[in-house]
Structure formats: C-alpha cells, structure tokens
Amino acid sequence: MAVRLNVKAIVFDLYGTLVDISVIAERCKEVAADGEAFCGTWRAKQLEYAFLTTLMGRYRDFLYITERALDYTVAHFGVTLDTQQRKRLLDGWLEPTAYPEVPSALAKLAEKYALAVLSNGAPRMLESGLKATEIRPHFRWVLSAQAVKVYKPSPRIYQLAAQKTRLAKNRILFVSSNSFDVLGAKNFGFKVCWLNRSGAQLDPLGPRADFIISDLTELARALGLN
Amino acid sequence: MAVRLNVKAIVFDLYGTLVDISVIAERCKEVAADGEAFCGTWRAKQLEYAFLTTLMGRYRDFLYITERALDYTVAHFGVTLDTQQRKRLLDGWLEPTAYPEVPSALAKLAEKYALAVLSNGAPRMLESGLKATEIRPHFRWVLSAQAVKVYKPSPRIYQLAAQKTRLAKNRILFVSSNSFDVLGAKNFGFKVCWLNRSGAQLDPLGPRADFIISDLTELARALGLN
C-alpha cells in the first residue's frame, strides 16, 4: 500500500501507539486476583477522568488523574495496596517499553519528516517514557496536554501541534492507536493514520481515519520509505 | 436526618435517578449470551460518546448517540440483530418505569418546591419516558441537553436550569444517581444530593455531594416533609 498525503510533519500519540504499557497489566496481576479486569477499570477510569475534568473545565495533570483512577479501582475491587505496591503500579506509567519496530521505523521517518509527540501525558511522564525507551532523539517536539490544560479529543490540544509545527492542518499526519484520538484528530482536520495494533473496533462516531496500519513499519512503507 | 438547605427548586436527573432502565438490561439478555456485559458496554459507550461529542464540539442528540453505542456493542459482541430486535432494544429507552417510591415522593416535594428534570436525554426520550411513568405533572420544567447542545458534566447544561428557574445556583438542589452528574452539578455550584440507589462508589475527582440518600422518600424526609 502506498498513500499520497503531501504532509510535512508526523505527530504521534504515545501510550499504546509508540510505547507498550503492558507492563502495567503485568503489575496489576501482582496485586489483584483478576488483574486484567483491575487494569481495564483503571485505564477506563483514567480516560473517563480526563474527559470529565476537561468537560468541567477543571484540568488536573495526567499523573493526578492516573492516581485518582487507581484510588477508584482499588476501592472498587476491594484491594489493599501498601506504599510500595502503589508506587510500583504508578511507576509502570513512567517505565514503558517501545514496541519492537518503533525505534527503526522512527529513524526512517525522521529522515524525511519532522516528528512530534502529542500526548495527554504529563510532562514528567513523557520525559521519563521517552528516556526509558531511548526514542527521544527522533522528535523535534514533545507536546503535552499540560500546555493547553485540556485533554484529547478537544480540538485545542490538536491545535497545539499545528501551532508548534507552523503547518496547515492538512500538512500534518497524526498517528494514534486510540479510537477517541483518531476521531478527535480527524475532527480537528489532520490527515490521520489509525495504528490498529490489536484489531480493535473504531467507534462509529464521525470521520474515519485516512488509512489504517497494524505496525509502524507499515507506515514507513506506505509513505514510500523502504 | 434533616438538612437545612434553603433551596427553592429541586432539579432531577432522569435515567437511573427517577426512572428505572433495568428493562433495557432484560431486553439485552434476549439478544446476547452475556446480556449483562452487553448492556454494560452499551451504557458505557453511550456515556463515552456523550463526553466525546461534547469535547469535540460535535453535539448529536442522545437517541443518535444511543444508536451508535448500540452499533459498537453489537459489533463488539458479534451479535446480529434483526430490525425488530434492534427496535425493541432502543425502545427500552422510551419505556422506562418509575422507581416505586418516586410518584408519591415527587407529589410531596412538589407541594413545597418547584421541580424540574434536567437530562442528557433527547426531548422525544424525555417526553416519552415522563408520559410512560405518569410523573410529568409534577414538573414545572423539563430540560434537555438539546437546548444547549452539550452534555453533562459541562457547566453549560447546569446553567440552563439556573436560567429557567431564575434562581441563584445555591438556591437549587440537584439530585442525581450518576457519579459524573454529581461531580458536574457540584462543580457548577448547585447544592447536590447523591441518590445512591445501588451502593455505588463516587469518583474521587472533586467536590462531594452535600448529602447522600438511598431512595427518594429519604429526600422528602430530609427536607422535613413527612
């Protein structure tokens, strides 16, 4: 597959897109009988709290939100965590791994495009995650929701990438594995690639991605960088 | 328990607060092997889509959103619905029943307070639900998100109730069974009563309800209407 997009920059979501957060699911299994359900609730509440605080006009950074979502989850599952266990779970968000193909695909893409990260994550999370995965050097910009104090899929956070890159919306390709992020970016006006790693289902709620890939190597290939 | 609130009007959420939507869960069991999970996903996606469309500035009415959430759920569970089955599920939202204590408690409260409904529901849903449950006569105002084209917990929808009642925020008591609605109403500035029918957990995300009850009879009692 080759696509003609005429874009100058590629902006990436981070969690689930470039970096793997399955270490968190593993750690959840250490503290809860049904670790998978525990992790699912934690992640669902984390996203819900990002949406709710934005809707209420009460931004709090993503570490705060992640902690409150953990508080909810712990109470919901009747789990007791000691200080060490709690820290180990939260630290999971600071110590992701890059998906295997990501470093080499980014290196290729960076030869031709200006690359950026645009994430709901707090600056400390992004810094830590990009350092742990050693992919920081590929990016010209690392942009956090913190700068605009709203979360995806508000248009204001996508606007941040357009401002920083000084490019028209349709000269930017946005890549995300998260359905709500694909919707939000497309709604804003970016060209959008859905990196559907897990065969997930897109929410039938508006504009569709321009194209779909299953790993980042495909993106380099689709853009003609072989 | 008696509370002194000095309020003039009481504004109610509808679904799960005054009217029981468990008929929907029953109908989900007719079409899906795991009816409970099917219903849970449908409801979760319905709320998520309300949040997402509001965040993206792309309001669609609650019937549309409910249908799209059903589309997602059907695909997710690999269920096939014929036209009749689909209609029967969606009609569940138009044919709720009042919780048993609600009609008599509303009659009592209406003697002393101006009552209103403030719901995410589309006008046709509210009309149909209030007619089916025969509680319409108790309300001076029936207010839908449709009027402001944003969903709870945006402050703009709560503002609608303040405008219509022409009362200061703190002279209005807002009653809801939904955690995000309790947060939103309190964030806006209402006095808030959390009608916690099911022993649910409040999201630890901001201001707490002024008081908590487990059915509407308790509200009349708490306000001294015996």
CB atoms A187 and B58 under 8 Å: yes
Tens of pLDDT, residue by residue over A130-180, are 999 999 999 999 999 999 999 999 999 999 999 999 999 999 999 999 999
Given this model, what pLDDT does residue A186 score?
Answer: 97
Q: Do domains B9-20+96-222 and B22-91 have the same CATH topology?
A: no
pLDDT of A41 higher than 70? yes
CB atoms B184 and A76 under 8 Å: no
The pairs formed by B84-91 with CB atoms below 8 angstroms and a separation of 24 or more are: B85/B30, B85/B31, B88/B27, B88/B30, B89/B24, B89/B27, B89/B28, B89/B31, B90/B63, B90/B66
| Helix or strand run (H / E) with residue A175 | strand A172-176
Confidence of residue A12 (pLDDT cuts 50, 70, 90): very high
Name the residue of chain B whose CA is nearest to A70's CA: B204
Higher pLDDT: A198 or A188? It is A188
User: Mutate which of A71, A79, A205, A208 to test chain B, going by most B C-beta atoms within 10 A?
Assistant: A205
The closest CB to that of B71, out of A55, A152, A204, belongs to A204
Beta bridge partners of B5: none
Q: Are A56 and B154 in contact, with CB atoms under 8 Å apart? A: yes
What is the rounded CA–CA span in Å between residue B50 and residue B47? 5
- Residue A83's φ and ψ, nearest 5 degrees, are -55, -40
Residue A198 forms contact with B (CB below 8 Å): no
Contacts of B56 in chain A (CB under 8 A): 153-155, 183-184, 187, 206
Residue A177 to chain B, least CA–CA distance (Å):
16
CB atoms A184 and B49 under 8 Å: no
User: Mutate which of A36, A43, A45, A52 to test chain B, going by most B C-beta atoms within 10 A?
Assistant: A52
Q: Which residues of A are catalytic?
A: 13
Given this model, what pLDDT does residue B206 score?
Answer: 84
What is the count of residue pairs from A and B with beta carbons less than 8 Å apart? 85
CB atoms B203 and A68 under 8 Å: yes
For chain B, the residue count is: 226
For chain A, the residue count is: 226
CA distances from B171 to A14, A66, B109, B114, B190 (A): 45, 35, 15, 11, 7
CB atoms B154 and A55 under 8 Å: yes
- Residue B210's φ and ψ, nearest 5 degrees, are -70, -35
Domains of chain B, by residue range, sit at: 9-20+96-222, 22-91
What is the rounded CA–CA span in Å between residue B151 and residue B55? 9
pLDDT of A30 higher than 90? yes
What is the rounded CA–CA span in Å between residue B137 and residue B130? 9
The predicted complex's ipTM stands at 0.95
Contacts of A44 in chain B (CB under 8 A): 44
Residue B78 forms contact with A (CB below 8 Å): no
CATH superfamily of the A9-20+96-222 domain: HAD superfamily/HAD-like (3.40.50.1000)
What is the rounded CA–CA span in Å between residue B66 and residue A15? 29
Q: Are A164 and A143 in contact, with CB atoms under 8 Å apart? A: yes
CA distances from A116 to A136, A142, A211 (A): 10, 6, 19
| Helix or strand run (H / E) with residue A10 | strand A9-12
Given this model, what pLDDT does residue A1 score?
Answer: 64
CA atoms within 13 Å, Cβ hemisphere of B116: 23
Q: What angle do CA B57, B60, B66 make, to 5 degrees?
A: 130
Quick one: how far is CA A49 from the chain centroid? 15
Q: Exposure of B33 by Cβ count < 10 A (0-12 exposed, 13-18 middle, 19+ buried)? A: exposed
> What beta strand segments (E) does chain B contain?
9-12, 19-20, 97-98, 114-119, 141-144, 172-176, 191-195, 211-213
pLDDT of chain B, 226 residues: tens digit per residue: 677 788 999 999 999 999 999 999 999 999 999 999 999 999 999 999 999 999 999 999 999 999 999 999 999 999 999 999 999 999 999 999 999 999 999 999 999 999 999 999 999 999 999 999 999 999 999 999 999 999 999 999 999 999 999 999 999 999 999 999 999 999 999 999 999 999 998 899 988 999 999 999 999 999 988 6
CATH class, B22-91 region:
mainly alpha
